[in-house]
């Protein structure tokens, strides 16, 4: 069996097979994943780009078009597809993790679908760790794609350095819904399928709405399946840095707190507590605080 150091060296070199294995270990919290996570060196300079939006907005098509261009520029890209409606994610639905995609066999493009946490579509509990593993590999961008329903779009905004919200002109009907959730989290908006009727007025309305926010939020128009507008979006991304540090700091602090808590509580089993309390409350007089004091010597 390979040592952790070998694994990490291979990943650093850009080997996808060990990378996939490490991600599986980390995602499922398998034996050795903690030791592995203690050894990786995640490169904090690699930006994480979140892409979200309602189902059918063409997020995957846009990601495909972006990858195409970036590969031509010699960039290496990792994609985590959390979107259960995404064609990237077909594999996840089929029960295995290998899917077809125009880029799947391209060197320098690594695509991975990951399970969501329950029906509300929250991101996987290990997503921060998975992103850190990808940051430790030799990628220029890590893209996380998730559908903008439920709570995953809020979580992605916490995770990503830059969040792209993809909409389509038809979204005009549901603008009230969009307003409440997605409108708050995008650092940049893309009106995709911009060759459709009403695209221009939709983009204008969107721009007006976004004027209410404190920071300037650009709106790009793309026709992703015809490669229109993608260059402009990419060059904006290349020239923009989000509030990386502030966001990551929050994210890492919350995660660190949870990790410390898990570690300190790892020998406390509720089932065991319950058995002991069950014995104690058989007596007429019971004192929970005394019980806890004796249990935990605090």
**In this structure, what DSSP letter does residue 223 have?**
B
Binding residue (CB under 8 A) for a copy of itself from 9, 13, 39, 235:
39
- Are residues 50 and 159 in contact, defined by beta-carbon separation less than 8 angstroms? yes
Rounded to 5°, angle at Cα 129 from 251 and 116: 90
Strand partners of residue 142: 48, 78
Q: Is there binding between residue 42 and a copy of itself (CB under 8 A)?
A: yes
Q: Which of residues 230-249 bind a copy of itself (CB under 8 A)?
A: 245, 248-249
Contacts for 188 with CB less than 8 Å, ≥ 6 apart = 162, 163, 164, 165, 217, 218, 219, 220, 233, 236, 237, 240
Q: Is there binding between residue 253 and a copy of itself (CB under 8 A)?
A: yes
Binding residue (CB under 8 A) for a copy of itself from 6, 44, 204, 235:
44
Q: Which is nearer to a copy of itself, 120 or 249 (CB)?
A: 249
Q: Is there binding between residue 255 and a copy of itself (CB under 8 A)?
A: yes
- Are residues 77 and 108 in contact, defined by beta-carbon separation less than 8 angstroms? yes
Q: Which of residues 103-162 bind a copy of itself (CB under 8 A)?
A: 128-129, 132
Q: Is there binding between residue 281 and a copy of itself (CB under 8 A)?
A: yes
Q: Is there binding between residue 100 and a copy of itself (CB under 8 A)?
A: no
Stretch that binds a copy of itself, among 157-165, 209-217, 232-240, 288-296 (CB under 8 A): 288-296
Q: Is there binding between residue 211 and a copy of itself (CB under 8 A)?
A: no
Quote the least distance from Cβ 13 to a copy of itself, whole Å.
16
Quote the least distance from Cβ 261 to a copy of itself, whole Å.
6
Quote the least distance from Cβ 163 to a copy of itself, whole Å.
20
Quote the least distance from Cβ 294 to a copy of itself, whole Å.
10
- CA gap 189, 210 in Å, rounded: 10
Nearest residue to 44 via CA among 113, 156, 131: 131
DSSP codes of every residue in 111-157: EEE---BTTTTBPPTTHHHHHHHHHHTT-SEEEEEEESSTTHHHHHH
DSSP H/E element including 109:
strand 109-113
Quote the least distance from Cβ 159 to a copy of itself, whole Å.
13
- Are residues 159 and 129 in contact, defined by beta-carbon separation less than 8 angstroms? no
Binding residue (CB under 8 A) for a copy of itself from 9, 30, 94, 256:
256
Quote the least distance from Cβ 8 to a copy of itself, whole Å.
11
- Are residues 101 and 111 in contact, defined by beta-carbon separation less than 8 angstroms? yes
Binding site for a copy of itself (CB under 8 A): 34, 37-45, 128-129, 132, 245, 248-250, 252-257, 259-261, 263-265, 268, 270, 273-274, 277-278, 281, 283-293, 295-296, 298
């Amino acid at each position: 069996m390979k040592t952790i150091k070998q694994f990490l060296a291979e990943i650093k070199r850009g080997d996808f097979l060990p990378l996939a294995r490490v991600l599986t270990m980390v995602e499922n919290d398998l034996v050795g994943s903690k030791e592995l996570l203690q050894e990786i060196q995640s490169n904090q300079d690699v930006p994480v780009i979140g892409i979200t939006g309602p189902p059918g907005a063409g997020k995957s098509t846009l990601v495909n078009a972006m990858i195409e261009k970036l590969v031509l520029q010699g960039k290496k890209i990792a994609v985590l597809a959390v979107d259960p409606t995404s064609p990237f994610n077909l594999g996840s639905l089929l029960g295995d993790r290998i899917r077809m995609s125009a880029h799947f066999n391209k060197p320098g493009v690594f695509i991975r679908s990951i399970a969501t946490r329950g029906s509300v579509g929250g991101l996987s509990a290990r997503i921060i760790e998975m992103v850190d593993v990808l940051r430790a590999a030799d990628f220029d961008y890590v893209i996380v794609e998730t559908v903008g329903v439920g709570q995953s779009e809020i979580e992605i905004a916490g995770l990503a350095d830059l969040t792209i919200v993809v909409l389509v002109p038809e979204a005009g009907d549901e603008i009230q819904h969009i307003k409440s959730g997605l409108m708050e989290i995008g650092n940049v908006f893309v009106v995709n399928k911009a060759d459709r009727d009403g695209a221009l007025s939709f983009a204008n309305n969107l721009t007006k709405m976004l004027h209410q926010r404190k920071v300037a939020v650009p709106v790009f128009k793309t026709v992703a399946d015809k490669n229109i507008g993608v260059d402009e979006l990419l060059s904006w991304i290349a020239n923009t840095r989000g509030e990386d540090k502030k966001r990551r700091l929050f994210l890492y602090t919350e995660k660190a707190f949870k990790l410390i808590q898990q570690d300190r509580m790892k020998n406390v089993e509720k089932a065991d507590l319950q058995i002991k309390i069950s014995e104690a409350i058989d007596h007429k007089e019971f004192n929970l605080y005394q019980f806890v004091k004796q249990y935990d010597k605090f």
